[in-house]
Structure 1
Amino acid sequence: MTPLPNISPQSGSLLISEPFLQDENFVRSVVLLCENNEMGSFGLVLNKLSIFKLDELLDGCDLQDKEVYVGGPVEQNTLHFIYQGEQALEDSISLGNGLWWGGDFAELMEKYRQGKINSADFRFFIGYSGWDQGQLDEEVTGNTWIVCDNTHARNIFKAEPDDLWRVILKEMGGDFQVLANYPIDPRLN
């Protein structure tokens, strides 16, 4: 197989773990890179469900039974969110292709109560994935991550979490499509 081309990671990129990554926090994971600068990088794992629902984590939360994902191993006592579509919250940061990160949670709850937003367009995370200055670039150079732009972001809200890694690789085509079919443990193939 020919070497897999990688683009440089930037805010809004998707990081797809290579098939044989053994780090339990990132096995077959897809990470949305929210921030990448000279200070380091911040991202959210998109396909690892937690055991919690949002209303179990926040007293008085109006979003009943809303799934919460594990954004990464860092500071799992923090809550983050992304959403798709038009900018719904004033302080949200655009990640491109109609994908937004964060904003004022009180504004989100108020707009939800008023029926101005659809909760299906939002995804919530406890914790995050973080890299020190230069660390992510080293991991990308070492082929730990396949970097792609977020043109595949529509899958974040459509694909089942367990399928997201494979769905995005298949959509990328070529050698990536071959990687999507690698077994987790090739010895069992």
Structure 2
Amino acid sequence: MVSLSPGVLLIADPFLKDPNFARTVILLCEHQTNKGSFGFVLNKRFDQHLHDLVPDILIPGIPVYYGGPVQIDTIHFIHQQPELIKGGFEIQSGIYWGGEFNQVVKMINAGKLDPNKIRFFIGYSGWSSGQLENELNEKSWILSEINKALVFDEKDENVWRQALKNLGSNFAIMANFPIDPLLN
């Protein structure tokens, strides 16, 4: 059974109505029962690219994702390149959060980072102590083990459906539920 811990995926229940989290998948990066939790929405692309937000970035077109509604004036990143990016925190085997951002900018501009192994977020999703546990009790989220393909490779629009399908047939059926069952 999957429990709350860094590296777990939070899959939004099909009927979760919160516009920040409807049909999202969140990579949980930190969870401490007495302090709270935070993570990043994996499947909501932001309407600007990294070079629009960070003037030092010379390479256009690098996508940025809406990490969540908290501190949307900050940029975060996860990656699979610890040999190139120092200072990151390993949240799950081979997946790191953060690191030296100035180093990342230089390596992007030099073409040394694999764009399929790094993902940028504006803002993050956060929960105070006990809040995420309460949301789990209310059945707002479905927990899943991490899947690197969903985190880095999957197309944004497929992440939520694929995360449910990966949990097996009982959940795969939920991937086709309408947003509002009254419209069915």
Deviates most, 157-166 or 71-80: 157-166
- What residue in structure 1 maps to residue 175 of structure 2? 180
In 2: Cα distance, 1:63 partner to 1:95 partner: 28
Q: Percent identity?
A: 41
CA 1:82–1:116: 2 relative to 1, 3 Å: same
Matched with 1:83 is: 79
Q: 1:183 Cα shift?
A: 1.5
Gaps of 5+ in 1: 1-5
2:17 corresponds to 1:28:
no
Deviation at 1:90, TM superposition (A): 1.7
Q: Is the 8 A contact 1:33 1:44 kept in 2?
A: yes
Q: Does 2:87 align with 1:96?
A: no
Contact 1:89 1:104 in 2 (8 A): yes
Q: Give the TM-score taking structure 2 as reference length.
A: 0.92
- Hey, what's the Cα distance between the residues in 2 that align with 1:99 and 1:90? 13
Match of 2:151 in 1: 156
The CA distance in 2 between the partners of 1:85 and 1:185, in whole Å, is 40
**1:127: how far off?**
0.6
Q: What are the within-5 Å matches in structure 2 for residues 67-146 of structure 1?
A: 67-84=63-80, 87-146=83-142
2:5 counterpart residue number: 10
SS across alignment from 1:138: helix
Over the aligned positions, Cα root-mean-square deviation in angstroms equals 1.6
Match of residue 55 from structure 1? 51
Work out whether residues 82 and 88 of structure 2, in 8 Å CA contact, stay in contact via their aligned partners in 1: no
Write the deviation string for residues 64-101 of structure 1: whole angstroms up to 9, x where unpaired. Answer: 11111110001100000111355432211112232111
Q: Is the 8 A contact 1:87 1:100 kept in 2?
A: no
How many residues in Structure 1 have an aligned counterpart in Structure 2? Answer: 183
Displaced runs of 4 or more, over 6 A:
none
